Structure 1
Amino acid sequence: MNIEIIKIPKIDDYRGNIAFIEKEVVPFAIKRVYYLFDIPSNARRGGHSHKEQFELLIPLSGSFDVIVDDGKEKQIIALNKPDKGLLIKSNVWRELENFSSGSVCLVISSGEYLEEDYIRNYQEYLSYINHNSKP
C-alpha cells in the first residue's frame, strides 16, 4: 500500500518533550498545512483520495484511526503519538474516525487546495485506480 509511518524527531526533556519537522522529515515540498479539531467522537472525516498530492497526518493531541484503502486491501492505522505520522501517498482512499476527546490532526500536504485532485466518491475512486494502474 502507498503509505508509510514517519518518525518525527523529538528531544526528550523532563520539562516536556519537543518534536520538530524540518525538510528532511517530510519527503515532499510543503505547500499547505491545516488541522482538524473539535471533532465529535462519532464523526468521520476524509472520505476521499488524492490523484497527485501526498499528505502527512500527525496526531498533535489525542488519538484517531485512519482507514486506508488501495482498492485491493484495507488497513486501520491508529494514530496516537505526536512523534509518529502517517504518510499517505497519491491514490489511497482515506477515512478518519474514532476521534478521542480533544484530538487534533495536523495535515501537511504536498499541494495547495485543488478540487480537481480529489476523488470524493468511492466507486469513482475504484474506477480511477483500475483505469490508471500500471501493469
Structure 2
Amino acid sequence: MDVKVFVFGNGNLSFKNFLEYYEKPITEILKTNNPSFVLCDFKGVDTLTMELLKCETANVSILHIGTTPRYSPDKYKTKVSQWNFIGGFQSDIERDTAAIHMCTHFLAFDFNSNEKRKSGTLTNIENCLIQNKINIASTLLREIKG
C-alpha cells in the first residue's frame, strides 16, 4: 500500500513540542517504502515539517490558498524543487478537505481545543477519522504503551 501522510497541527506549536511529537514519527515514516507527504503552508507544524523534509524526500505536496504559498523552504541543494505545489484554493476548509482526500494516513496532535473552542486541527482530525484515514499518532502511542 502506498503511504501518503497528511501532517498537520496547531500554528502555535513550539519547536520543542514539534521535536517531541512529530520528528520521530516523520523520521520513522521516511524509513518505509517510498512514502509521500501532504502539507499545507501555515506556520507551526506545516513550516517545521517542510524544514524537516526539505533534504529528505522529493515526495511532498504542498497545498495552499491563492497563487503562491505563504512559505516555501530554500530550493538550493534540497529536494524542494521537486515538490508539488498545488494552489488556487479559496479557503482553509477547501484546502484541508483536498489534503484529507489525498492522504491515506495522518499525523496530527491538537493542543488548542478546550470546552469553549474547537480548533481547526481537531476538526481535521475528526474529518480524517470519518474518512477512515489511518491515524499514525494513535498507532505510535499504542506501540509506546506496549
TM over 0.5: no
**Which structure is richer in relative contact order (CA contacts within 8 A, separation 6 or more)?**
1
**Going by fraction, where is helix more abundant, 1 or 2?**
2
Q: Which structure would you say has the larger Rg?
A: 1
**Going by fraction, where is strand more abundant, 1 or 2?**
1
- Normalised by the size of structure 1, how large is the TM-score? 0.29
- Normalised by the size of structure 2, how large is the TM-score? 0.28
